[in-house]
Structure 1
Amino acid sequence: MNLFQLRAFDAVAREGSFTRAATRLFISQPAVTGHIKALEDHYQITLLRRTARRVELTEEGIKLAAITRAMFGLVDEAQVMLEANRQLLTGRLEVAADGPHLVMPMLANLRERYPGITVNLRLGNAQETLAALLSEHVDVAVLTDVEPRKGLTLRPLNQSRVCALVPAAHPWQALTDGIEIAQLDQVIMVLREPTSTTRRTFDQACAKAGVSPRVLLELDSREAVTEAVAAQLGVGVVASVEVSRDPRVCAVPINGTGLANRHMIGCMERRAELRLIKAFMALAPQSIG
């Protein structure tokens, strides 16, 4: 089946004229006539009756026109949808992040610039976020301390430092210069799971400094750590970009080496030039000071 022939027939059926059909399709009138003649000859059927004043559909032509109108109507819808997506008027972006604090300003920038874009955001720990990106379950991801690897495009965002999280009435909350990491030796602490990036950075810094905190609880979310600290179960740790505004707790800087985390945005290299991904990657640096 020749789609060019069907498209020519559909245009004539819609316009009721070979001349207007040619204008609609941006081809010559003889080309339209040739396509329809070839269609009729191939299937040994008469689809149109040509008179001096107008073009009329035969009974078979009416039946075929109902089919082609639906068929090419869907094609036109697809073209409109794809063109809108190309211009970033519509589209869907799958985003993963290992925390909400950095990604939310980016999404606000995206919404302001491209209000027709729908975003699906999945939050998880660092390992889950990287896995989602590498398996291409998401288009882009906000990541922490990911090493460069083949096939992965990474762009730096900023750095954060690990801070101690203490109850609001804790004596350390008044120390504007922070505490030394050695002050956490044998301190009862409530921490994220060992696979957490913040926990891993903290553990490595403690090992390097010869500090051994007493871990009372291991929790699987920042929110749980905040609640545990607020309940005075122990001291927690949190990245400086993720400090809660909860009045029950206070973040205190920790002075020491190896307490910095690098945050970045990433996508798969082979998809980096897709318009929606490229637009989001371009907006990201503008949303982080």
Structure 2
Amino acid sequence: MNLFQLRAFDAVAREGSFTRAAARLFISQPAVTGHIKALEERYQITLLRRTARRVELTEEGTKLAAITRAMFGLAEEAQAMLEANRQLLTGRLEVAADGPHMVMPMLASLRVRYPGITVNLRLGNAQETLAALLSEHADVAVLTEVEPRKGLHLQGLSESRICALVPAGHPWAQQSKGVPLKALDQVIMVLREPSSITRRTFDEACIQARVNPRVLLELDSREAVTEAVAAELGVGVVSSVEVSHDPRVAAVPIIGEGLVNRHMIGCMERRRDLRLIQAFFGLAPVG
């Protein structure tokens, strides 16, 4: 079955004219005539009655026209859907992030610019977020301290600093310029689990500076650390991009080497030219 022949027949059936059908298909009128003639000859069937003034469908032509109208109508729907995606009028973007604080403003910008795009956001720790991207369960990901690797495209976003989280009444709460890392030696602390990026950066800085805090609690979420600090169980650490507006606690920069984290947005290298992924990268603040 020749789809070009069927497409020509469908155009004539819709337009009722060889001339208009040719214009619809952007081909010449003789080409339309040739396609339909070949179709009729191959199947030994008369589909159209040609008169000097008009073109009419035969009974068999009417039956075929119902089929081709449905068939090419679906093709046109598919084309419209794909075109809408290309123009970012519709579409779905799978996003992963290792925290909500940096990704939410980006999603807000995406919504303003492309209101027809649906976003599915999955939040997890650093390892889960990277795994979601590498397994292609996420189209793009907002990541922290990821090393370059083959097949992964990364773009820098910004940097954040590790801060001490203390109760609002703590003497350090008013030290806006920060506290030296050495001041945390032997201080009782409540920290995230060792796999946390913030915890890992803090631990590495402490090792380099020969600072030994006393870790009383290890907790599995930022919220738990905030509650523990508010309850005066110890001093916590938090990234400067994750500071909450909780009046019970205060975040104070820690002064020292190695207390900075790099944040970035990533996608698989082979997918970086996809229109929707490019749009998301384009909206991301570059730092």
TM superposition outliers: structure 1 runs of 4+ over 4 Å = none
Aligned to 1:39: 39
Is 1:130 the equivalent of 2:130? yes
Deviations along 1:36-93, one digit per CA (max 9) or x if unpaired, are 1211222222222223332222222222212211111111111112222222222222
Aligned to 1:144: 144
Aligned to 2:213: 213
Deviations along 1:246-272, one digit per CA (max 9) or x if unpaired, are 112110111121111011111111111
So what's the TM-score if we normalise by structure 2?
0.94
Distance 1:227 1:43, change over 3 A: farther
Rounded Cα–Cα distance in structure 2 between residues aligned with 1:67 and 1:3: 13
Cα distance, 1:164 vs structure 2: 0.9
Cα distance, 1:244 vs structure 2: 0.6
Rounded Cα–Cα distance in structure 2 between residues aligned with 1:115 and 1:275: 15
Is 1:93 the equivalent of 2:93? yes
Aligned to 1:157: 157
Distance 1:172 1:71, change over 3 A: same
Structure 2 residue runs of 5 or longer lacking an equivalent are none
Cα distance, 1:239 vs structure 2: 0.4
Structure 1 residue runs of 5 or longer lacking an equivalent are none
Q: Which amino acid aligns with 2:14?
A: R
Deviations along 1:117-136, one digit per CA (max 9) or x if unpaired, are 22221111111111111122
Aligned to 2:200: 200
Cα distance, 1:115 vs structure 2: 2.1
Cα distance, 1:141 vs structure 2: 1.2
2:49 counterpart SS class: strand
Range 182-191 or range 273-282, more displaced: 182-191
Cα distance, 1:199 vs structure 2: 0.8
Rounded Cα–Cα distance in structure 2 between residues aligned with 1:220 and 1:71: 55
Deviations along 1:118-163, one digit per CA (max 9) or x if unpaired, are 2221111111111111122212111111111112111111111111
CA RMSD, aligned part only?
1.6
1:251 counterpart SS class: strand
Count of paired positions: 287
Cα distance, 1:285 vs structure 2: 2.5
2:53 counterpart SS class: coil
Range 56-65 or range 196-205, more displaced: 56-65
Cα distance, 1:4 vs structure 2: 0.8
Aligned to 1:255: 255
Rounded Cα–Cα distance in structure 2 between residues aligned with 1:11 and 1:146: 55
Aligned to 1:107: 107
